[in-house]
Amino acid sequence: MTHLPALEQAHFDDAISSKLDACDQAAPRILILYGSVRERSYSRFAAEEAGRLLTKMGAEVKIFNPSGLPLPDDAPVTHPKVLELRELVRWCDGMVWSSPERHGAMSSVMKAQIDWIPLSEGAVRPSQGKTLAVMQVCGGSQSFNTVNQMRILGRWMRMFTIPNQSSVPKAWQEFNDDGRMKPSAWYDRIVDVAEELFKITLLLKGNADYLADRYSERKESHQALSQRVNQAKI
């Protein structure tokens, strides 16, 4: 998983945890989603490269395979692939979303995964407070349509979306026959994204609940509790 032929090890920071004085924390748990079910999927290849880098940094990484995931609302929430995705979202501390650009936008495969992630489960918002990195692959010249769309969704889902991002132009020429990314400035940017996600996830880990705690939600919860107490007295 951590064989990295395109990486110049001399410049790689594989001691981030100790430098952030967070070595007593559990490893960051990162979920990776990609937006294509093609056999030769460049968004999956890019996602896997990010996963290898995060694993080498010390993260626990899981990659969700979207094949077989039904369209949103076209199956019950008890569908096995929906249950798998939602459990992984609850499990993780942060995510990487990697999508191809289709017709100037993220793919339907990517959007379907995001749409199956609920904004709330009872009083719990499974995506709130988690970190997010966004990446896209392009068939032609470089574009930022897809990463910009995913940023909007990440904010909507109350995630801490990191500043850095990756957009790989002409992705078909950036990967070899084995699906491994060739050395390039585009690969270096994926290293940057993975490193920044790892650092920010580590810094927020243990504090995400407090940082995402909101006045309006505390007020709403108090009012709901008071209403239930008053109804019980009647």
Question: Which residues are within 8 A (CB) of 195 and not within 5 positions of it... i.e. 6 or more apart?
Answer: 13, 16, 53, 57
Alpha-carbon torsion, ordered 18, 180, 165, 136, to 10 deg? -150
Helix (H) or strand (E) holding 63: strand 60-64
The model carries a pTM of: 0.84
**33, 98 in Cβ contact below 8 A?**
yes
Domains of the chain from N-terminus onward:
9-233 (3.40.50.360)
- Tens digit of each residue's pLDDT (9 = 90 or more) over 77-110: 999 999 999 999 999 999 999 999 999 999 999 9
- Tens digit of each residue's pLDDT (9 = 90 or more) over 120-171: 776 567 898 899 999 999 999 999 999 999 999 999 999 999 999 999 999 9
Separation of alpha carbons 234 and 229, rounded Å: 9
φ/ψ region of 177 (left if φ > 0, alpha if ψ in -120 to 50, else beta) reads alpha
